[in-house]
Amino acid sequence: MTNFLVAENICKNFDNFTALNDVSISIPKKSIFGLLGPNGAGKTTLIRIVNQITMPDSGKIYLDGKLLHPNDVGKIGYLPEERGLYKSMKVGEQALYLARLKGLSKAEAKERLEYWFKKLEITHWWDKKIQELSKGMAQKVQFVITVLHQPKLLIFDEPFSGFDPVNAEIIKNEILQLRDEGATILFSTHRMESVEELCEYMALIHEGNKLLDGKVADIKREYKSNTFEVGLTAEDETALLKELTANFSVGKANFKSITKDLKLSIQIKPEESPNDLLLYLLSKARVNHFVEVIPSVNDIFIKTVTDNA
């Protein structure tokens, strides 16, 4: 798959602090890429370098196969974590002004704004001042301004901050639609559930170093431990538990069920088959629940950062 954005061996220091240490990432075209890391990991520094707000000490950025050029700013839409709207300006007036800065004519900007304001049901905000809006309402306006010039690369830094669940779902669906229409998206967030829902690829940065990088599914596969949650019904649960403990690595499990089960986590060896485990359990008890434990992005985040602390 062709990469749309490539950061190659990026290093950045601020006095005696290393913000990025030889970090490289590649983001495929028309994908959503999650950039993860604890506070101070270097995520925002990398985003600012891609946006040419600051320059790297060394390394290169490629956009669509070519070295990043100052003129490429028009190909990028950036929604920063710290919002940048002028509070005393009216929504429509400000949106038009910022759209013109992105190279749109007044007529073109107004047409696109009318489309987005109608789509997100915010037409009645046109003459309101930003300071009259809630944080979530202002966030919607900033989202529209970010995507208005139809950039090929969209960078969202904590895009759901300030949104209630309903509006977060609306914006999530819009992000997916923009991806489907051809945009490449770099997505930075602390909300791991958003990464699960949206991202096909991810990288984890910690203390300026890249610790993980790749397809989300592949990373999950690498971190899984051949462990299964099972819910069992047996005449003699004590005897069954004793037998299972003698043959497997067994622990307690906690999951919701509508039956009163013996709830266990059972780990098998890499060379053993889940089918063999299931057949074994079926010969000993009624199996009401049998699910492989797949680590969440949140689990992987915590384990990787903790192991490298």
Quick one: pLDDT band at residue 44, thresholds 50, 70, 90? very high
Place of tokens 């010969």: 283
Domains of the chain: 3-221 (3.40.50.300), 225-293 (3.30.70)
Quick one: pLDDT band at residue 209, thresholds 50, 70, 90? very high
**Amino acid residing at 231:** G
pLDDT digits (tens, 9 = 90+) for 49-93: 999 999 999 999 999 999 999 999 889 999 987 767 888 899 999
* pLDDT greater than 70 at residue 1: no
Q: What is the pLDDT of residue 223?
A: 93
Q: Would strands 32-36 and 184-188 be described as parallel, antiparallel, or unpaired? A: parallel
Q: What is the pLDDT of residue 256?
A: 85
The alpha carbon of 275 is separated from its chain's Cα centroid by a whole number of angstroms, namely 33
Q: What is the tally of helices (H) and strands (E) in the chain?
A: 10, 14
Quick one: pLDDT band at residue 162, thresholds 50, 70, 90? confident
| Cα–Cα distance for residue pair 42/207, rounded to 1 Å | 7
122-147: average pLDDT: 90
146-167: average pLDDT: 92
85's CB contacts (< 8 A; 6+ apart) are 94, 130, 138, 141, 142
Q: What is the pLDDT of residue 83?
A: 67
Q: Give the count of beta carbons closer than 10 Å to the beta carbon of residue 111.
A: 11
Token pair listed for 222: 């690498």
Q: What is the pLDDT of residue 16?
A: 87
pTM for the complete prediction? Answer: 0.88
State the average pLDDT for the chain: 92
pLDDT digits (tens, 9 = 90+) for 226-257: 999 999 999 999 999 999 999 999 999 988 88
* pLDDT greater than 90 at residue 295: yes
Q: What is the pLDDT of residue 276?
A: 94
Q: Give the count of beta carbons closer than 10 Å to the beta carbon of residue 164.
A: 11
